[in-house]
Chain A
Amino acid sequence: MDAKLNQSDLISLLAKENSISVAKAELFTKNFFDLIIEGLEQDGIVKINGFGTFKITDVASRGSVNVNTGEKIEIKGHRKLTFLPADALKDNVNQPFAMFEPVEVDETYQPDAANDVEADDIVDVAADENIEPVEEKLQNVANEPMTVEEVAEEGVGNAVETVETVEVVETVDDIAAPEEDNAVSAEAPVEGTAAEVCREETDAEAALPEEEKTVAEPLAVAVQERPTEPVMVHIPKKKSAEEKQTTPRGKRKGVWSIVPLLIIALAVVFILVNRMEKDNAIVADSNDANIVNTPASVSGSSTGSKAPEFVAGTAKSDSDVTLPVAVEEKTVAEEKSVGIDNIENTITANVAADEPQVPGEYVFVMVDELASSSLKSITLADTLLYIADGELAQHTVAHDETLTKIAKQYFGDKKLWPYIVKYNNISKPDDLCRGMLISIPRLMPRR
């Protein structure tokens, strides 16, 4: 144990070990080490089994520096005595650490780098969530003019007669209503109204691009500020299914790609409606046309001197129709934004208030509210092209059947479904029940 043995200790131990006299052991031990030196002198190498090899090795000359003076010196080449222990000796000596073995270091594990990678992933995901909806919306907005044009084209195609301008003004509400109706969508307007729709669209065409811009910007802002909450989430599934059913041909690429597009379309139409309603109200009161043309969201800024409350007040006094819609819009939107997260700043709230697309339910509510007014337009359309002349057949509504399908079946034109509604006095065309017995009228051209 950390003792220092000298040659005499070794001799006594050897004498005890081998049961030989100390003199013999001493002679032997001395001869042992002397012979090693002799052997080294003779061969330069002495090998002893189980112990090791004594060897004289050459050392090459090398340059060095005198530590004290700093001057370069050369250590000349020389020979030196080295000892290479045998494996048995090494193993015996190294027994305390015998259980260790060299281990390969895992290069891949670097704590800091691992954290960084995770953080990057999170950022990437967040970025994707940020970017995707916005791009989608932009695409949809880009597609928007197409849909509007389609509606317009349909109107042109079906338009037969020009209608008096007075009538247009009177029926603007009613025309917009069937467009809002989710069951109707683009195919709703019957010929007469289609002409009016066309006119309306052409009237509004100049204003539309601007509106689309204003729509697109708040939407983008809203989406950016709430990246984890896509707009699509708010849409009731029932509604999306219905829309999918009645979507015009060639638009069934996928529910999720269609739904936002439809929402935007509805919202744009709604803005139109709002504008036209104000038109009506103020035309009725014979007020200034300038104030009329600005939608509720823009009115504050465009009128300049007038405060938004004041405008709202005038609207209240002007018409009963405008007020509920406008008020409902703001309250619903505000409730929505406040309810979802309180953290949103006032800008977001304003955006949400100006932006009718964000709350899905809101569109839904509006549709229900205007469902009744859609009947008016149907009545109007009825007076234009066809006259119901007697009963063609009785039809029992089957599962998954809609008025448009029935109209297509009997008349060959799905756009003629309002005649069925009119003929049967169906109060809620949307709530068509399975097993309902309806009469199919025989349609005769008016002229």
Chain B
Amino acid sequence: MNNKEFITRLAKKCNISAADAGTNVDALVGLMTECLKENDQINVSGFGILEVKMRNERLSVNPKTGQRFLVPPKIVPAFKPSNKLKDKFK
């Protein structure tokens, strides 16, 4: 299911226009991004937890050339599905 399909189905579900659904999706995504940016944890019951995690710097080796790189630390978004969801797809 791609983005366009997702929006049309969401619009049908909510009885709103696809354009409105689109803006709402963008707004919600922007909202969640802002929250994650500020290290907030978004806990959606029945779905899972969206949060950010810190990855430390590390050395990685290019197996072809043997070059070694120092990869800088970074912050990554992570999703942790709820147990209910996990069990559903297991």
Interface residues of A (CB under 8 A from B): 1-7, 10, 13-14, 17-18, 20, 24, 27-29, 31-43, 45-52, 54, 56, 78-83, 85, 88-90, 92-97, 100-105, 107
Contact = CB atoms under 8 A, between A and B. Distances in A.
21 contacts: A3-B38, A5-B42, A7-B44, A7-B45, A10-B42, A13-B31, A36-B47, A37-B47, A39-B1, A43-B1, A50-B30, A50-B33, A79-B89, A81-B86, A83-B79, A89-B33, A92-B36, A94-B74, A97-B74, A100-B74, A102-B69
Interface in B1-35: 1-3, 5-6, 9-10, 13-14, 16, 21, 23-33, 35
B28 A2 contact: no
Contacts of B30: 17, 50
The 5 A-B pairs at the shortest CB distance, nearest first, are namely A100-B72, A83-B79, A39-B1, A105-B68, A85-B77
Nearest to A40: B89
Q: Decide if the interface of chain B is mainly helix, strand, loop or mixed.
A: mixed
Contacts of A93: 33, 36-37, 52, 75-77
B86 to A, nearest CB: 7
Contacts of A101: 72
A96 B35 contact: no
Contacts of B37: 92-93, 95
Interface residues on B, range: 35 or more
A50 B29 contact: yes
Given A3-B41, A103-B69, 13 more contacts: A5-B40, A13-B31, A20-B24, A35-B9, A48-B6, A52-B77, A81-B85, A83-B77, A83-B78, A85-B77, A90-B77, A100-B72, A105-B67
A302 B46 CA distance: 111
A88 to B, nearest CB: 8
B28 A32 contact: yes
B85 A37 contact: yes
Interface of B: 1-3, 5-6, 9-10, 13-14, 16, 21, 23-33, 35-48, 50, 52, 59-60, 67-79, 81, 85-86, 88-90
A94 B76 contact: yes
Given A1-B38, A46-B6, A105 B27 contact: no
A204 to B, nearest CB: 71
A21 to B, nearest CB: 12
B41 A18 contact: no
Contacts of A102: 60, 69-72
A52 B3 CA distance: 10
